[in-house]
Structures are given as C-alpha cells and as structure tokens.
C-alpha cells in the first residue's frame, strides 16, 4: 500500500515538474517572442528614422529649388510687366506730343485766318489797319494764354534775372528807377509757369 502511494506521489511530482517545466518553457517562449517583436519594432523605428533623416536631408534642396523656380517666375513676370509699361508709356507720350502739337496748330490757325483776311482787306486807312492788327495781336495773346503761354510783365517791374535778361543799363534815371525795367526790347514768355524765353530789357542804373 505504501509502495502504491509512493508511486502515485511520484507520478504527481513528475506531473507537477512537467507542468512547471512546460510553464517555464511557455513563459520563456513568450518572453523570447516579445523580445523578438521588440527588436523588430526597434528595427522598424530605426528604418523610419533613417528614412526621415534622408527625407530631411533632401527637403532643403527641394525647397531651394522650388523657391528658386518661384523667384524666377516672379522675375520674368516683373520684367514682362515693366516692358509692357515702358512701351505703353512711350506710346502715350508720343500721342500726347502729337495731340498737343495738333491742338496748338488748331488754335493758331484761327489767328492765321484773321491775318489772311487783313491781308485781303483793301482799306487804305492807316488807323483801321492799325486797329485790325491790334485786334489780331490781342486774339493771338489770348490764344497763347489758352495754351498755358503767358507774357512776362515788364512795365514798372523790378529787374529779376529769373524772368529778365538785361541787354542795356540806363544811367541817370533817378533812385526810383534804379534796378527797375525801363524798357522791354523783346517780350518774354512762360509756359505753365516755366520760362521758355526771358524778356530782353533795359534796366535803370
């Protein structure tokens, strides 16, 4: 009977030992599998890091290429726009000069018409002829003023080198005439407040 119990205990002990070994082996296998998975994950992470580093190394170059292409496109567009602006401005300027010349001629033609009529007039009255010439002169002055051309005033004006050109000095005119315009030999004109011809005058000394 004791022998049988020992046999049963031995069998139970062997079974427990076997189960224990099996459990240890299973735990070991599980740990090995986890370690393998962990190593695999680490290897995958390393690969991702390497790919990221490679991508980061290429990114600056690609960015520079893209920025260079963008700047080149902007430059070409700016050059084209400036060229168009230059051509348009040159055309407008030439048209302005041409149209301005046409306007001047058109205004002056009205004075020319008066001169032609005066030349065809057979009147021999000196007073009538003088009055006719005076009227034409006044009309011509008004025509010039409509074009921005104004006559420089010289009567009792102080001598001013900005508007006058002294061609003679007249002594003995008195202190009140000193430095003043005594006579105008040739009229001067301004156009849009800019002197286009100085008035030639005699100045008191």
Residues 86 and 138 reside in one and the same domain: yes
187 vs 44: which has the higher pLDDT: 187
State whether 128 and 170 are in the same domain: no
pLDDT > 90: percent of the chain: 37
95-100-105 Cα angle (round to 5): 130
Q: How many CB atoms lie within 10 A of CB 31?
A: 10
CATH classification at residue 174 = 2.30.22.10
Last residue within a domain, chosen from 104, 125, 147: 147
Query: How many domains, in total, are found in the chain?
Result: 2
Longest Cα–Cα distance of the chain, Å, equals 181
pLDDT at 7 over 50: no
Please indicate, yes or no, if residue 2 is contained in any of the structural domains. Answer: no
| Residue 28 forms part of a structural domain | no
Q: Taking 90 as the threshold, does the pLDDT of residue 187 lie above it?
A: yes
Within a domain: residue 21? no
The domain boundary, picked from 132, 147, 162, lies at: 147
Please check whether residues 173 and 133 belong to one and the same domain: no
At 20 the pLDDT is: 47
Same domain, 157 and 141: no
pLDDT of residue 30: 52
Is the separation of the CB atoms in 145 and 182 below 8 Å? no
Nearest-CA neighbor of 155 among 189, 180, 186, 191?
A: 180
Domain assignment present for residue 114? The answer is yes
CB atoms within 10 A of CB 164: 21
- Residues 37-49: pLDDT tens digits? 555 555 555 555 5
pLDDT, tens digit, 9 for 90 and up, residues 121-145: 887 888 888 888 899 999 999 999 9
Tell me which of 98, 120, 147 is where a domain ends: 147
Are 70 and 139 in a shared domain? yes
Same domain assignment for residues 110 and 135: yes
- Its domain, for residue 129, covers 66-147
148 has pLDDT over 70: yes
| CATH number of the structural domain spanning residue 140 | 3.90.20.20
> Hey, CA dihedral for 144, 145, 151, 156, is it positive or negative?
positive
Q: Are residues 71 and 142 in the same domain?
A: yes
Render pLDDT for 150-183 as a digit per residue (tens, 0 to 9): 999 998 899 999 999 999 998 887 888 888 999 9
**119 domain residue, yes or no:** yes
Global pTM value: 0.51
pLDDT value of position 10: 44
Residues 137 and 196 in one domain: no
Residue at 43 is within a domain: no
Q: What is the mean pLDDT of the chain?
A: 78
Q: Would 48 be classed as within a structural domain?
A: no
Q: Is residue 108 domain-shared with residue 154, that is, in the same domain?
A: no
CB-CB contact of 157 with 182 (8 Å): no
């Amino acid at each position: 009977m004791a022998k049988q119990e020992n046999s049963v205990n031995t069998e139970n002990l062997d079974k427990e030992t076997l189960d224990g070994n099996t459990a240890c082996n299973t735990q070991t296998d599980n740990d090995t599998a986890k370690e393998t998975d962990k190593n695999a994950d680490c290897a995958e992470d390393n690969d991702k890091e390497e790919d990221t580093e490679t991508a980061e190394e290429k990114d600056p170059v690609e960015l520079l290429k893209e920025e260079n292409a963008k700047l080149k496109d902007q430059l070409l567009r700016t050059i084209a726009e400036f060229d168009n602006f230059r051509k348009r401005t040159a055309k407008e300027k030439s048209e302005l000069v041409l149209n301005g010349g046409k306007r001047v001629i058109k205004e002056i033609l009205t004075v020319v018409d008066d001169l032609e009529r005066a030349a065809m007039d057979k009147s021999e009255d000196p007073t009538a002829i003088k009055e006719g010439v005076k009227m034409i002169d006044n009309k011509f002055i008004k025509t010039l003023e409509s074009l921005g051309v104004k006559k420089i005033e010289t009567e009792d004006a102080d001598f001013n080198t900005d508007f006058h050109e002294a061609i003679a000095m007249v002594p003995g005119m008195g202190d009140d005439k000193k430095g003043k315009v005594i006579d105008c030999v040739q009229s001067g004109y301004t156009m849009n407040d800019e002197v286009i011809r100085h008035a030639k005058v005699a100045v008191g000394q």
